[in-house]
């Protein structure tokens, strides 16, 4: 029932807002729904960990299956493993933080919060679905609200950016759909992920289906060279929209690469691993170097997301248990960190009416809370020990170095070098915003309680993961491609960090 409620509650919340959410009531209803979702996600974590203590060998638990369309065996099939639970908890945190950051939306608040809530429903559906076609359905459910949120409530070239984002994501969706149909007709004639995993697709089927699925889902997670929608989409979106895009929507792509491509086609994953590693390294270096050139603080965070998501791609391509766990940890860490970044940028923009770094300065004097949070988000981005970014990136590095081949170890060295570049652009940007004489402040009204609560919620997740990562590592241990396949994805699988 908990899995059903995680999908049903945001849908009911969206309907309630659409019918009765006039004015400030829309934000109140959305907040109440988000609080319930967070409570359900915590309850799911507690019940999952308690259940798995006595049923350690099961790949997926709490399964429910109801056939929607018998001729094609399309089913409403839900279930979770540790990776799913981690993604659900991330979604619940970002949803609540995004809603809190939107309390002061005055233009069409009912429609705004309805679309925002639908985004969360689509994300929960993707993370909980064990039927590949149902997963695709929920993936598509989250595309249309993004277009409307950017096109109506965005800024700058919002119409152009909204069209570009949707066209790129629809390209990814088309590749995913073709890959799923190829997997269906080339396999056990089922969309059930557990059935496909147990039947082991033929190598020739894996060889041509894997690149379709990996590329399709990869577009959602800024896979090079299909990353160009990320900077424009993030920068034009409203604050909560940027938080959802970077904190949740980009994780749908990484999760799809793990769940459908790597998990179901391990032979092809090994075959294409060198290409994936190279693409991951390009994204890491290109993203960090491009961020150095940015003068707009929102574009700065958007380009840095390309670099950080490159660690997810790299972790998947390295194909050791430790690196795969690192990819999952990076998805969680990046979701929290980038949502915090965009939240603080929104706070600063509302009071300065500018996103240009050269027009800011001395804001530590005027808004110490927001600038301190920005400083902590920056330290997390550059991988300071004690924060979530260090745990995630270090796990990917360790997993990569455990591979004895030259390519993997070279990739680790290249990825490590990007930390230096990250430190340069993060410290330079924060210095420009926080230090020096006060300038750029237009509206001195204090940070609201809702904004403070959103920032503290995201900071709490970053510190919890950074100071005590063991609970999250134990949660994802033995899940998905990192542990669900007994013969492994690598010749010498290693234990998790």
**Is residue 489 domain-resident?**
no
Q: Which of 14-18, 31-35, 295-299, 484-488 has the lowest mean pLDDT?
A: 484-488
What residues contact residue 406 under an 8 Å CB cut-off, 6+ apart?
A: none
SS3 63: strand
In this prediction, residue 483 has a pLDDT band, given cuts at 50, 70 and 90, of: very low
CB-based contact 134:76 (threshold 8 Å): yes
**Is residue 266 domain-resident?**
yes
**Is residue 8 domain-resident?**
yes
Q: How many CA atoms lie within 13 A of 94 on its CB side?
A: 37
Q: How far apart are CA 231 and CA 245, in angstroms?
A: 11
Residue 170, Cβ density class (10 Å: 0-12 exposed, 13-18 middle, ≥19 buried)? middle
- State how many domains the chain has: 1
**Chain centroid to CA 214:** 16
- For residue 277, the 8-state DSSP code is H
- 328-387 tens-digit pLDDT: 999 999 999 999 999 999 888 888 888 888 888 888 888 889 889 999 998 898 888 889
ω before 225 within 30° of 0 (cis)?
yes
Instruction: Flag whether pLDDT at 497 surpasses 90.
Output: no
The candidate with the shortest Cα–Cα distance to 304, out of 188, 221, 422, 386, is 422
SS3 264: coil
The candidate with the shortest Cα–Cα distance to 379, out of 329, 327, 333, 346, is 333
* Neighbour count for residue 189 (Cβ, 10 Å): 11
Q: How far apart are CA 381 and CA 284, in angstroms?
A: 13
CB-based contact 6:122 (threshold 8 Å): no
Q: What percentage of the chain exceeds 70 in pLDDT? A: 95
| For range 89-106, the mean pLDDT | 90
At which residue do the structure tokens 């959802």 appear? Answer: 244
What's the pTM value of the predicted model, to 2 decimals? 0.90
Q: What is the predicted pLDDT for the residue at 481?
A: 55
Across the chain, mean pLDDT equals 86
Angle of helix 109-128 relative to helix 132-141, nearest 10 degrees, comes to 160
Residue 382 φ then ψ, to 5°: -85, 5
Strand-pair partners of 387: none
Residue 54 φ then ψ, to 5°: -110, -5
- 264-289 tens-digit pLDDT: 888 898 889 999 999 999 999 988 88
Q: How far apart are CA 488 and CA 414, in angstroms?
A: 26
- 384-399 tens-digit pLDDT: 888 988 999 889 989 8
At which residue do the structure tokens 């904190």 appear? Answer: 247
Q: What is the predicted pLDDT for the residue at 38?
A: 94
**Is residue 488 domain-resident?**
no
**Is residue 389 domain-resident?**
yes
Instruction: Flag whether pLDDT at 492 surpasses 80.
Output: no
Domain of residue 85: give its range: 2-482
Q: Which helix (H) or strand (E) holds 67?
A: strand 61-69
């Amino acid at each position: 029932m908990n899995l059903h409620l995680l999908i049903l509650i945001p849908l009911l919340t969206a309907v309630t807002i659409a019918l009765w959410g006039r004015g400030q009531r829309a934000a109140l209803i959305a907040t109440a729904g988000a609080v319930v979702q967070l409570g359900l996600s915590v309850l799911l974590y507690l019940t999952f960990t308690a259940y798995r203590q006595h049923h350690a060998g099961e790949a997926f638990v709490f399964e429910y299956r109801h056939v929607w369309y018998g001729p094609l065996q399309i089913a409403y099939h839900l279930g979770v493993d540790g990776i799913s639970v981690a993604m659900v908890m991330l979604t619940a945190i970002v949803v609540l933080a995004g809603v809190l950051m939107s309390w002061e939306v005055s233009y069409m608040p009912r429609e705004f919060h309805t679309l925002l809530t639908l985004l969360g429903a689509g994300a929960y559906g993707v993370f909980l679905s064990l039927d590949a076609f149902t997963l695709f359905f929920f993936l598509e459910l989250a595309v249309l609200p993004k277009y409307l949120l950017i096109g109506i409530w965005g800024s700058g070239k919002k119409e152009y950016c909204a069209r570009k984002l949707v066209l790129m994501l629809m390209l990814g969706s088309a590749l995913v759909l073709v890959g799923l149909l190829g997997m269906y007709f080339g396999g056990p004639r089922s969309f059930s992920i557990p059935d496909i995993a147990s039947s082991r697709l033929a190598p020739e089927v894996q060889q041509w289906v894997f690149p379709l699925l990996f590329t399709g889902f990869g577009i959602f997670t800024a896979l090079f060279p299909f990353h160009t929608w990320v900077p424009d989409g993030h920068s034009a979106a409203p604050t909560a929209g940027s938080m959802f895009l970077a904190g949740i929507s980009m994780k749908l792509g990484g999760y799809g690469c793990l769940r459908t491509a790597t998990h179901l086609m391990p032979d092809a994953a090994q075959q294409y691993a060198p290409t994936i590693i190279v693409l991951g390294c390009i994204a890491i270096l290109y993203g960090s170097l491009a961020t150095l050139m940015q003068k707009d603080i929102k574009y700065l965070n958007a380009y840095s997301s390309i670099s950080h998501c490159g660690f997810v791609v790299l972790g998947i391509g390295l194909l050791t248990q430790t690196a795969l766990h690192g990819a999952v940890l990076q998805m969680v860490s990046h979701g929290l960190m980038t949502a915090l970044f965009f939240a603080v940028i929104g706070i600063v923009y509302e009071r300065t009416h500018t996103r240009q770094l050269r027009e800011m300065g001395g804001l530590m004097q005027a808004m110490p809370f927001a600038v301190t949070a920005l400083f902590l988000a920056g330290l997390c981005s550059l991988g300071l020990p004690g924060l979530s970014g260090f745990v995630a990136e270090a796990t990917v590095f360790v997993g990569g170095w455990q591979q004895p081949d030259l390519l993997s170890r070279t990739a680790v060295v290249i990825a490590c070098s990007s930390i230096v570049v990250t430190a340069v652009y993060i410290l330079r940007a924060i210095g420009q915003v926080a230090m020096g004489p006060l300038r750029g402040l237009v509206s001195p009204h204090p940070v609201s309680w809702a904004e403070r609560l959103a920032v503290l919620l995201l900071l709490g997740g970053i510190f919890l993961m950074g100071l005590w990562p063991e609970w999250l590592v134990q949660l994802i241990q033995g899940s998905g491609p990192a542990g669900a396949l007994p013969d492994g994805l690598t010749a010498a699988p290693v234990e998790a960090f």
